Structure 1
Amino acid sequence: MSVPPHLAGEPVRAGIPEHGRIPRYYAVKTQLLALVQELGEGAVLPSERELAERFEVSRVTFRQAVSELVLEGKLVRRQGAGTFVAPPKLVQPLALVSYTEGMRAQGVRPGRYLITREHLPADRRLAADLRIEPGDPVIHIERVLLADEERVGLESTYLSARRFPELLDVFDPETSLYACLRDELGVVLVHADERLETVLATPREALLIGTNPATPMLLVHRVSRDGAGEPVERVRALYRGDRFSFVTQLSGPGATG
């Protein structure tokens, strides 16, 4: 099976093992990528039988290639309708920018719906992150993140209930928490420590986000601070790996400005 010439220097090279033989499913995958680029966003793929015959492979091999592209967010399956070319991934900056601002900058309508709003006693780790005492009350807000009405993530935020006793009275959970902190409570986030890793969602998380438990997720841990360096929030946010990528700006030691 030949590799499309315009893809020869792209993903297929990374897929060639040391012995030099390209796995058959991977060669199919590169051909599917070429077809995806040709068809464009939202187009439906020809039938499995047609494409398996075109690529001269078994349906099992073809399905493996398609499954990888679905997990990577290049294709999307719709029950009873077929397999479609997926839209481009959403891009969220690794910066102190709210989810609302990040989505609107891409022309996407952000949304959230509330799952949990409660008071909890802080365990030792949470207390250390928020610089409070273990057992002190914290506010826990858990929300599903939406992009143009599509469920794309799940966010849990923890704040000191003693520092923000009025928060739940003034905060609309369908809107930006950062805007509420700034406009209603006069708190501006200035610094944050953030860590990003890949995980699989728990069964509960997958159900809330509406995704396959096998879909890779991007997990963000963040502790945000105000101008005085005091912790304001601790966040645990899950984003669908097939729908999101993250971007940041880096500077070398010689950079100016």
Structure 2
Amino acid sequence: MGTTQLEAAQEPKYWHLRTVLAEALDSEFAVGEVLPNERDLAARFGVARATLRQALEQLELEGRLQRRRGVGTTVAPPRIGVPVGPAEGDWPGAGNDTWRTIGCVEAPAPAAVASLLNEGRPGYRATDMVHTIRRVRMSHGQPVATELLYVPRDSVPGLPELLPPTAHPRAVLRELHRLELESEDRTVELGSARAEDAKQLERLPGAPVLVVTTRYVTGGRVGAVAVATYRADTCRLTFGDTGAVEITHHDDERRQAS
């Protein structure tokens, strides 16, 4: 088989510079330290300023650098370690759940979520209204994730018809907790931040994110679906032997390797 065009392509200059800069960040700079200005950096590495900017933007996207108005470009702190999802066997909002509820509406679920909710629910239609609870998670004073929890109306039949807006999400969660949780499973995929999620995460729309989708099964059917969006520049997801999901950061890996 001949060499493909992709295999023959050379590494872009900015990407090579990004690798060199990343090594310099690890060996020469401390967290919070301000980098030299672009002119000095370009001269040091013998590259055009346009190439340097591309490399710096890539490192910022990866969470290695922060650009602060009036300060300059600084070395970002290590990624934050936070557990993902509630403790095994718990509904969202139960026990030591660290998510904060910020709103609840009733609307049809997105097509992908509606497909999951349809499992074990005869007669369910994609246009059926579901309770949609938005939650956010903070860690060390910054938002690390936002979540949409989708709960079909027939999962919480004891919910009163008329509720004040502030009580609605609490009432939905309370009724959900009355059900027996049989199992839960999660999938993780790379995605791009939608406008509302980006706003909650203090990122730009289209920024890379990690999307964790959780199905909660009760009574032989999917009782609720949670779609949590984590900042990819802040969080790194790893799976343990038990199937639980945890987050580690670069400093942990460096300490284990030394």
* Displacement of 1:148: 2.5
Mapping 1:129-208, distance limit 5 Å:
129=119, 131=121, 133-134=124-125, 137-164=129-156, 165-166=158-159, 169=167, 185-187=177-179, 189=181, 191-208=183-200
| Secondary structure of the structure 1 residue equivalent to 2:44 | helix
Contact 1:93–1:247 under 8 Å retained in 2: no
* Displacement of 1:93: 5.1
Match of 1:46 in 2: 36
Match of 2:107 in 1: 120
* Displacement of 1:80: 2.6
Contact 1:111–1:147 under 8 Å retained in 2: no
Please, which runs of 5 or more residues in structure 2 have no aligned partner?
A: 1-5, 243-258
Q: 2:227 aligns with which of 236, 248, 253?
A: 236
RMSD: 3.6
* Displacement of 1:204: 3.2
Contact 1:119–1:140 under 8 Å retained in 2: yes
Separation of aligned partners in 2, 1:207 and 1:146: 14
- The structure-2 alpha-carbon separation of the partners of 1:250 and 1:153, relative to structure 1 and needing over 3 Å to count, comes to same
Please, which runs of 5 or more residues in structure 1 have no aligned partner?
A: 1-16, 105-109, 252-257
* Displacement of 1:50: 1.7
Question: How many residues matched?
Answer: 220
Q: Percent identity?
A: 30
Runs of 4+ deviating beyond 6 Å: 98-101
Separation of aligned partners in 2, 1:197 and 1:138: 24
* Displacement of 1:43: 2.2
Contact 1:223–1:235 under 8 Å retained in 2: yes
Q: Deviations over 1:179-215 (max 9, x none)?
A: x679xx3456452232222222223332332212242
What letter is aligned with 1:27?
A: H
Q: Deviations over 1:72-110 (max 9, x none)?
A: 111122223211222222345566538999x99xxxxx5
Structure scoring higher RCO (CA < 8 A, sep ≥ 6) equals 2
Q: Deviations over 1:152-189 (max 9, x none)?
A: 3221001233433349859659xxx6xx679xx34564
Structure 2 length normalisation: TM-score?
Answer: 0.68
Separation of aligned partners in 2, 1:41 and 1:112: 29
- The structure-2 alpha-carbon separation of the partners of 1:146 and 1:100, relative to structure 1 and needing over 3 Å to count, comes to farther
Contact 2:133–2:148 under 8 Å retained in 1: yes
- The structure-2 alpha-carbon separation of the partners of 1:234 and 1:129, relative to structure 1 and needing over 3 Å to count, comes to farther
